[in-house]
């Protein structure tokens, strides 16, 4: 099949491209610039250059495409765009173009279903797009993945600097998932009918466990500062009050995740401790 991957240059999207190519699909990337890295280019049939917030630039991107997979979103990046522009607006524009071109299925990578996150702007923008997709007239699959290993790298970065700060006394839990496991779920969705798929990692870890795993990967003794969650929720409340959406919208999701349990059904196979060991060895 011919599959368009939006967000192909990102952490998850690049893994989806590789997984699809390994399964023999022909892959078109939607990218903002033509300079896709060479290993990724080797997996691609072609590239459509567009900023998906500019609907006109999407014209033709889905021509000849059977299935669209979108891993396009704003993840903590400094930009003038907001989650409503990208996570909802750009994906909606892509859905319209997919419909126009006669695409048969749209696979969307959303975010974990966790009650304490539902009021966060980024999650609300994604839920709105999910509603667009459900009423969009195309077959669809929505993936609900927990936090990626790429986000857990912040624990490793703190450990490298000598101290990891955890909130909620360190006892809050998450089962983060490797992007490669999410890519498998996305590629499965090309041919499988399930409309909703939760994706979590195999290990439920406390933040303290994650901090210790980061130090262990570096071969250093753990130095952990445990703060109560209210310090972070208080800082978030101030951020929301004093900064525009394009600033607090970027920070609200990753910080809110640190103040509560965030759990998804365990479907992934890869372990965070192995990822940390590999990342530590790579320097």
Give contact residues for ligand NAP (rule: CB under 6 A). Answer: 7, 9-13, 32, 51-53, 71-75, 86, 90, 109, 111, 145, 147-148, 150-151
- Nearest Cα to Cα of residue 75 among 265, 264, 250: 250
**CB of 57 or CB of 222, closer to ligand NAP:** 57
**CB of 222 or CB of 266, closer to ligand NAP:** 266
- Nearest Cα to Cα of residue 181 among 206, 195, 200, 204: 200
Residue nearest to ligand NAP (CB): 10
Q: Nearest distance from residue 147's CB to ligand NAP, in Å? A: 4
**CB of 74 or CB of 180, closer to ligand NAP:** 74
Distance CA 230, CA 199 (A): 29
**CB of 75 or CB of 211, closer to ligand NAP:** 75
Q: Nearest distance from residue 164's CB to ligand NAP, in Å? A: 18
Q: Nearest distance from residue 225's CB to ligand NAP, in Å? A: 23
**Residue 260 near residue 171 (C-beta atoms within 8 A):** no
The stretches of the chain forming alpha helices (DSSP H) are 11-22, 38-41, 83, 91-101, 121-134, 149-161, 179-191, 207-218, 229-242, 245-257, 272-282
Q: Nearest distance from residue 71's CB to ligand NAP, in Å? A: 4
Helix, strand or coil, per DSSP, at residue 270: coil
**CB of 92 or CB of 222, closer to ligand NAP:** 92
**CB of 21 or CB of 71, closer to ligand NAP:** 71
* Beta pairing, strands 26-31 & 46-49: parallel
Helix, strand or coil, per DSSP, at residue 245: helix
Question: How many CB atoms within 10 Å of residue 83?
Answer: 26
Q: Nearest distance from residue 219's CB to ligand NAP, in Å? A: 26
Q: Nearest distance from residue 54's CB to ligand NAP, in Å? A: 8
């Amino acid at each position: 099949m011919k599959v368009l991957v939006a967000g192909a240059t990102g952490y998850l999207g690049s893994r989806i491209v590789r997984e699809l190519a390994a399964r023999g699909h022909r892959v078109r990337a939607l990218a903002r610039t033509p300079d896709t890295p060479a290993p990724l280019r080797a997996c691609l049939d072609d590239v459509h250059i567009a900023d998906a917030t500019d609907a006109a630039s999407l014209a033709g991107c889905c021509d000849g495409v059977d299935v669209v997979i979108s891993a396009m979103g704003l993840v903590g990046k400094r930009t003038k765009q907001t989650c409503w522009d990208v996570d909802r607006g750009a994906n909606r524009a892509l859905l319209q173009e997919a419909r126009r071109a006669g695409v048969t299925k749209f696979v969307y990578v959303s975010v974990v279903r966790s009650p304490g996150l539902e009021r966060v702007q980024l999650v609300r923008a994604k839920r709105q797009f999910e509603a667009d997709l459900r009423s969009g007239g195309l077959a669809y699959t929505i993936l609900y993945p927990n936090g990626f290993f790429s986000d857990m790298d912040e624990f490793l970065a703190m450990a490298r600097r000598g101290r990891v700060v955890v909130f909620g006394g360190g006892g809050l839990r998450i089962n983060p998932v490797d992007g490669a496991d999410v890519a498998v779920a996305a590629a499965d969705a090309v041919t499988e009918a399930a409309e909703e798929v939760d994706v979590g990692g195999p290990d439920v870890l406390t933040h303290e466990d994650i901090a210790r795993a980061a130090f262990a990967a570096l071969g250093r003794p753990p130095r952990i500062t445990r703060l109560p969650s209210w310090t972070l929720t208080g800082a978030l409340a101030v951020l929301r009050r004093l900064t525009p959406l394009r600033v607090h919208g970027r920070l609200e999701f990753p910080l809110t995740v640190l103040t509560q349990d965030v759990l998804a059904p365990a479907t992934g196979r890869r372990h965070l401790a192995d990822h940390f060991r590999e990342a530590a060895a790579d320097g």
